[in-house]
């Protein structure tokens, strides 16, 4: 492969962003190429590398006691493996023509240009933080970085010291998976929690009818839900601390507010450099994770859009598991091997106390947008043989394409054993199976694990009839 | 379709054996055909229909308190749905030429012939019970039927009343999944349990190296294992009650013995009638579950051999989940619909106390017998993110075909979350995926459910390298 721009021995791989995607790419390339062939420099504007942002709610909840447990590999550990990690160093500009990036060191403020042979953009995502009155008040927290988690835990400790007899109140804005996980974390701290979202039901990664079951379960857990009304602002007290969240219809008093309104790709650098972005603002790549039209620029993680294997559309799905895979693909390709990231089917699992939520494939709205026609079925079944202790009810909703009977999506709400059951459907979707084929899947059966017909197969059986009846 | 033999209105479907396979066929056919079109007669030599033999160990353990919980549908419930169930009625002969079966009623001893348009053989399997000295002694139990379970529970209660201060001793002969489940059940009754098997490791549904981990886990649970030495006989006391099990090398005293030596297809009726049987004695069928060469005879459940989708061989794999599926296929075909049972990939899960065991696809010995060449990898990983409470270690062994990299099998030994993870591999096997394809599967990820790389994907990644290195 001929490469434009500077050449030199060793080649230099420059990474922008030292979290999962970027450092996976670095580690994988290092494994394939010795330092005399490939120099690897990673710029990270924060202090940490390779940490699990997905673990922050569990750290706040107290399930994880030490922040460092969330760090898979520290900057020093990466350096010992031959990766030149520069923390507190922000990349401020990308010069595509010159194959170089401009950096500013946080401490000294020193700016300089660094040339690259291969560039990896792994700039991640930024939490959505609408410009509402009071949004920057004290007591309003995001949960994206380890620093966010530290600030929230410190605030919780401070509030705890001041706490009156009454249970303190928290509002979580955004009822997606971060929101519901944070609701649990705050319950564990003894808070009365209200989950606020402009959507009519929580978990818009589910169809509303399945979201309704999540809402009911949240209410049973004593999480209040205030849905269908957008936040209009945050009230502050005389000291500038948040004291209430106002919506179009209500006012919710709170000593603490957590924002879980989702994230957007952080792609200013890419945009300013003229790299191609998709509808949701993520960098567009080919299957090898090379930025479209740029031979020596790669992108991975929360800053990219991923191919939806079912519809062919590109979507922004920020998830650590994709970031790791994409980073590995980039590292293999830069290291001289070959790999592709073939896209996703949209699998996600979450947990709130005993409640487990899983989904994969398309929602009804997504199927409609893709021009598909489909049937839906919903079944109730149990996680284990009905007579086995701990058998918990679960609800499975399944979408199948009309005529072909091809599986389009599965959503599951239940308790223990519900969440990871979507993996069955995730693999079946990847393989393009029909519901008829699924009914005969040879899944693990024993009374402590499953009824004799696994709940996913019960849904598939019902869908076979629905496809036939729909004609 | 033209049918040989007698014709009449309504047609008559005769079922031999009223358990999962037979009654699934009956129920499915009844759903599709009203009584005026199809008469359904089911002969069952015992008292019960549609019960879960797989649930017996949990009933004995005390997890299930009432025998009737194991009965999915009683004879009376089937009758109310328009199925003429005749319990305590044994089918003693099959006249294929005359399209009729001879029955003997248990009570009256009355014998008669019943003609059929469609015959379903669902005669099940019989526990292996070698003709050893003392095998029929009091205190020696099988666990195949509800009657077996009742007798064992009565014996346990009687022994309990007589129990001295010392912990009573039990020997379980056969260290397969029934054996290990019964070991747990007897532990729960306070027994010291010794598991005896002539194989060198327990669970011969796993490769020996994985079986060794099961043995270690059993030993940690204080189940003694006496392996690699076949049972030679059972000693009895003056009252004719078992008091010890002798093997080629040892003698194990026991107040109670449970036989879990596996089962064989119960196909005397089929053999006597000249129906085709496979190498393990099971009835051979086509994909629609029609007995080969016989247009109006069908077979389903533990009495048949199933197609192994990976090797094309036919194997005897007695499992309730296959019986239910096959019965349903037969019922759909007889009822005028169309369905096939496409075969199995050999998935099985079991549990002993906290230990979970899963397997799917081929063992090394099976791959060898099929003429395949393969690589194996074994990885250790955790069921959840390493930092999340309850993350339990699990060991995953994976076989992939040389050159093609096609997945051939997965074995998992671990704790919570280990067993059902084989479903991922079961679906991937069904779809014929390569390990390279598997590495990019979009599986459910969140810290309480999985590390960012699911253990199955970690094994797949390692297998990709192994396939390449093997060349």
pLDDT at B437: 98
Rounded CA-CA distance A436/A434 in Å is 5
The residue among A158, A211, A164 whose CA lies nearest residue A359 is A211
Query: How far apart are the CA of A199 and the nearest CA of chain B, in angstroms?
Result: 23
Q: Are B186 and B88 in contact (CB under 8 A)?
A: no
- From the list A346, A426, A444, which residue is nearest B422 (CB)? A444
Report in angstroms the alpha-carbon separations of A236 from A414, B121, B165, B251, B414: 39, 76, 71, 80, 51
Residue A224's φ and ψ, nearest 5 degrees, are -75, 145
B contact residues 102-131, partner A, Cβ 8 Å cutoff: none
Beta bridge partners of B263: B127
Task: Give me the residue from B70, B351, B423 closest to A443, CB to CB.
Answer: B423
Q: For each of the domains in chain B, give its residue range(s) and CATH number, in order of start.
A: 11-126+264-334 (3.50.50.60), 140-261 (3.50.50.60), 355-470 (3.30.390.30)
Chain A CB within 8 Å of residue B385 CB: yes
User: How many contacts, defined by CB atoms under 8 Å, are there between A and B?
Assistant: 199
Per-residue pLDDT of B243-289, as tens digits, reads 999 999 999 999 999 999 999 999 999 999 999 999 999 999 999 99
- Residues A321-330 pLDDT 10s: 999 999 999 9
Contacts of A345 in chain B (CB under 8 A): 442
Q: Which two tokens stand for residue A462?
A: 């019902």
Asked whether A396 and A458 are in contact (CB, 8 A), the reply is: yes
DSSP assignment of B407-447: EEEEEEEESTTSGGGHHHHHHHHHTT-BHHHHHT------T
Cβ of A327 under 8 Å from any chain B Cβ?
Answer: no
Confidence (pLDDT) at B136: 96
DSSP string, A394-444: EEEEEEEETTT-BEEEEEEEESTTSGGGHHHHHHHHHTT-BHHHHHT----
How much is the pLDDT for A2? Answer: 41
Interface test with B, best of A423, A454, A460 (most B CBs within 10 A): A423
Give the DSSP letter string of A307-320.
EBTTT--EE----H
B69-79 confidence digits (pLDDT tens): 999 999 999 99
Pair of tokens at residue A400:
């199948």
Partner A contacted by B338 (CB < 8 A) = no
Interface check for B373 against chain A (CB to CB < 8 A): the answer is no
Give the tens place of pLDDT for each residue, B185-222: 999 999 999 999 999 999 999 999 999 999 999 999 99
* ipTM of the complex, rounded to two decimals: 0.94
Strand ranges for B207-324 from DSSP E: 223-227, 231-236, 242-247, 251-253, 256-259, 263-265, 297-299, 306-307, 314-315
Predicted pLDDT at B287: 97
In this prediction, the residues of chain A whose per-residue pLDDT falls under 70 are 1-8, 164-165
pLDDT at B165: 65
pLDDT of B327? 98
CB B19 within 8 A of CB B49: yes
Q: Tell me how far apart the alpha carbons of residues A201 and B194 are, in angstroms, rounded to a whole number.
A: 55
Which residues share a beta bridge with A105? Answer: A89
Q: How many Å apart are CA A95 and CA B254, to the nearest integer?
A: 81
Active site residue B54: yes
User: Which pLDDT tens digits describe chain B residue by residue (471 residues)?
Assistant: 344 445 558 999 999 999 999 999 999 999 999 999 999 999 999 999 999 889 999 999 999 999 999 999 999 999 999 999 999 999 999 999 999 999 999 989 999 999 999 999 999 999 999 999 999 999 999 999 999 999 999 999 999 887 766 889 999 999 999 999 999 999 999 999 999 999 999 999 999 999 999 999 999 999 999 999 999 999 999 999 999 999 999 999 999 999 999 999 999 999 999 999 999 999 999 999 999 999 999 999 999 999 999 999 999 999 999 999 999 999 999 999 999 999 999 999 999 999 999 999 999 999 999 999 999 999 999 999 999 999 999 999 999 999 999 999 999 999 999 999 999 999 999 999 999 999 999 999 999 999 999 999 999 999 999 999 998
Looking at CA atoms only, how far is residue B181 from chain A in angstroms?
11
B209: helix, coil or strand?
A: helix
Q: What rounded mean pLDDT belongs to chain A?
A: 95
- Chain B interface includes A333 (CB < 8 A): no
Residues of A in contact with B340 (CB under 8 A): 440
What are phi and psi for residue A157, nearest 5 degrees? -65, -40
pLDDT in tens, B11-55: 999 999 999 999 999 999 999 999 999 999 999 999 999 998 899
Nearest CA in chain A to B464: A339
Residues of chain B with C-beta less than 8 angstroms from the C-beta of A321: 442-443, 445, 452-453
Q: How far is C-alpha B162 from the chain's CA centre?
A: 34
User: So what's the pLDDT on residue B410?
Assistant: 98
The reported pLDDT for the residue numbered A8 is: 55
Mean pLDDT score across all residues of chain B: 95
Say if B70 is an interface residue toward chain A (CB within 8 Å).
yes
Distance between A83 CA and the closest CA of chain B, angstroms: 22
Instruction: Tell me the pLDDT tens digit for each residue of A96-121.
Output: 999 999 999 998 999 999 999 999 99
Among the listed residues A33, A54, A303, A353, the single catalytic one is A54
Q: How far is A443 from chain B (nearest CA, A)?
A: 5
Which position has the token pair 């050999």?
Answer: B346
φ and ψ at A345, to 5 degrees? -110, 0
Query: A130: how many CB neighbours lie within 10 A of its CB?
Result: 11
Distance in Å, alpha carbon of A289 to nearest chain B alpha carbon: 13
- Return the sign of the alpha-carbon dihedral for residues B48, B54, B60, B64: negative
Nearest CA among B336, B340, B344 for reference residue B312: B344
Strand partners, B436: none
**DSSP 3-state of A111:** strand
Residues 278-317 of A with CB under 8 A from B: 309
């Amino acid at each position: 492969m001929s490469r434009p721009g500077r050449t030199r021995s060793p080649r230099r791989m420059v990474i922008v962003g030292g979290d999962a995607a970027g450092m996976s790419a670095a580690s994988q390339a290092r494994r394939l190429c010795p330092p005399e062939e490939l120099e690897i420099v990673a710029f990270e504007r924060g202090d940490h590398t390779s940490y699990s942002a997905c673990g922050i709610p569990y750290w706040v909840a107290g399930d994880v006691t030490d922040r460092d447990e969330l760090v898979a590999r520290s900057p020093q550990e990466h350096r010992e493996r031959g990766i030149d990690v520069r923390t507190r160093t922000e990349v401020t500009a990308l010069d595509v023509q010159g194959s170089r990036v401009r950096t500013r060191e946080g401490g000294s403020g020193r700016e300089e240009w660094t040339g690259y042979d291969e560039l990896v953009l792994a700039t991640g995502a930024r939490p959505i933080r609408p410009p509402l009155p009071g949004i920057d008040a004290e007591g309003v927290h995001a949960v994206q970085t380890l620093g966010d988690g530290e600030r929230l835990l410190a605030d919780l400790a401070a509030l705890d010291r001041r706490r009156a007899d009454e249970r303190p109140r928290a509002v979580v804005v955004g009822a997606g998976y971060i929101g519901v996980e944070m609701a649990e974390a705050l319950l564990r701290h003894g808070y009365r929690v209200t989950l606020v979202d402009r959507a009519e039901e929580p978990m818009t990664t589910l169809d509303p009818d399945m979201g309704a079951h999540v809402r009911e379960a949240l209410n049973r857990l004593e999480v209040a839900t205030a849905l269908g009304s957008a936040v209009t602002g945050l009230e502050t007290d005389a000291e500038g601390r948040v004291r209430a969240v106002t919506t179009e219809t209500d006012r919710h008093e709170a000593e603490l507010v957590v924002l879980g309104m989702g994230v957007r790709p952080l792609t200013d650098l890419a945009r300013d450099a003229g790299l191609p972005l998709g509808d949701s603002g993520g960098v567009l790549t080919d299957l090898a994770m090379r930025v479209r039209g740029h031979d020596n620029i790669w992108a991975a993680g929360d800053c990219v859009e991923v191919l939806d294997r079912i519809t062919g559309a590109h979507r922004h799905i920020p998830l650590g598991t994709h970031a790791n895979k994409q980073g590995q693909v980039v590292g293999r390709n830069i290291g001289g091997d070959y790999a592709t990231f073939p896209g996703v089917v949209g699998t996600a699992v979450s947990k709130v106390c005993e409640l487990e939520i899983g989904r994969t494939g398309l929602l009804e709205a997504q199927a409609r947008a893709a021009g598909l026609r489909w049937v839906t079925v919903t079944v109730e079944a149990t996680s284990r043989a009905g007579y086995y202790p701990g058998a918990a009810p679960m609800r499975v909703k399944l979408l199948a394409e009309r005529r072909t009977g091809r599986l389009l999506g599965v959503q599951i709400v239940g308790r223990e054993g519900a969440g990871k059951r979507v993996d069955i459907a995730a693999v079946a979707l990847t393989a393009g199976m029909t519901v008829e084929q699924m009914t005969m899947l040879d899944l693990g059966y024993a009374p402590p694990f499953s009824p004799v017909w696994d709940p996913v197969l019960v849904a598939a059986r019902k869908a076979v009839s629905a496809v036939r009846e729909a004609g």
